[in-house]
Amino acid sequence: MNSFPQKLHDKLNDRKNNQAIRTLKIPNNLVDFSSNDYLGFSISEKIYERTNHLLQSKNLKANGAKGSRLLTGNHSLYLETEEFISTLYTQEAALIFNSGYDANLGLLSSIPQRGDIILYDDLIHASLRDGISMSHANAYKFKHNDLKDIQTLCTRIKNKRHVSNADPIEIYVVTESVFSMDGDSPDLNTLASYCQENNLKLIVDEAHAVGIFSLGLVHQLKLEDKVFATILTFGKGLGCHGAAILGSKLLKEFLVNFSRSFIYTTALPPHSVATIYSALQQLKLESEKEDSEIQKLNSNILFFKNELQQLDLDKHFIASNSAIQCCIISGNEKVKNCSEALIKEGYDVKAILSPTVSEEKERLRFCLHSYNSEEEISGVLKTLKKVLIQ
């Protein structure tokens, strides 16, 4: 057996020395303040039964797709689900990808062309960054949720190209509607209007907005006509797997032809696509009814924030109106110790370490759910206060 490269040994040792080594752990039975299953859809019997009924009604018993969608994997349920998604979101077209990571990688690596420019928020997800790094376009980051910084960058770019008399380019602006590590949001209304007025192509990742803000913030704010591409991820608020990119029919056609993470992968099996369809049907119902899981989640978010104020903990937290609430505790070792103290008391709250976030910005990330009780929320925050003053 070949020896393991010393350079790789060294990188692993660096992680261990910095208290940042990652390991795989089995699920636990603690109170859930960690998962992305914001509405409890992953354990919904209604969705499970609806999915089985859908598969039976179409006599779909296959375990896999047998190939990519361009070969053997494009069964009719794919087309029906994409049509349902585009209608639900009032968009021209939708294209399903195997995961949010695949969607972001495929979009950003194929759409911006050589000579084009990508402006991206400093805190976008790793999958978006990876897609940008595979693109031939020039990329520049802007300060987190800072429209003025975008304007400054655009002015510099336009002045530079005016002087050089260069060919026209496309400028893409990439952001998230809810950021996964801070839980905050940009001013999407203002940003979308600015992009439309200045012919910038806005790309919005809705991974952590779907389910929290009903169908997502782009849809809720009626910004579909101002956004070039919207990415929906189904592995979080929808509790299943996969993703979709929404936009024009031409965008879909281009991705089918040039997005490598779409072209060169085996398609999702029929039961995965059926689950997406069923979960979206349930999300539509929840968005329309009273006493919905969405309303329960929003009530829990409000209760959590009120408890922070009552316990004088809000000064430790990043301002957020989403289901992601983060308590800054600097230092990998310190934040890990705090997480372990909460776990010992029965609360599953994960520590987010550097380099996932910047040094000195390590944090406990609280993910709230519709199924968390007020007693559980009060309990975890009272325990947190005790931990912080030790």
- Domain covering 60-287, topology: Aspartate Aminotransferase; domain 2 (3.40.640)
Global pTM?
0.94
Instruction: Identify the band that residue 181 occupies on the pLDDT scale cut at 50, 70 and 90.
Output: very high
Q: Please state the rounded mean pLDDT for residues 261-277.
A: 97
pLDDT of residue 28: 82
Residues 231-244: pLDDT tens digits?
999 999 999 999 99
How many helices (H) and strands (E) would you count in the chain? 14, 12
Mean pLDDT of the chain: 95
Which secondary-structure segment (H or E) carries 230? strand 229-233
C-alpha dihedral sign at 328, 333, 334, 338: positive
Which structure tokens are listed for 40?
């409890």
Percent of the chain exceeding pLDDT 70 equals 98
Structural domain boundaries of the chain? 28-42+292-389, 60-287
Q: Residue 367: phi, psi to the nearest 5?
A: -100, 120
pLDDT tens digits, residue range 121-173? 999 999 999 999 999 999 999 999 999 999 999 999 988 875 555 667 999 99
> Selecting from 1.10.260.40, 3.90.1150.10, 3.40.630.40, 3.60.15.10, what CATH number does the domain 28-42+292-389 have?
3.90.1150.10
pLDDT in tens, 308-348: 999 999 999 999 999 999 999 999 999 999 999 999 999 99
Cα separation of 169 and 298, whole Å?
A: 42
- CA-based Rg of the chain, rounded to a whole angstrom? 22
Mean pLDDT in residue range 180-185: 95
Mean pLDDT to the nearest integer, 37-47: 97
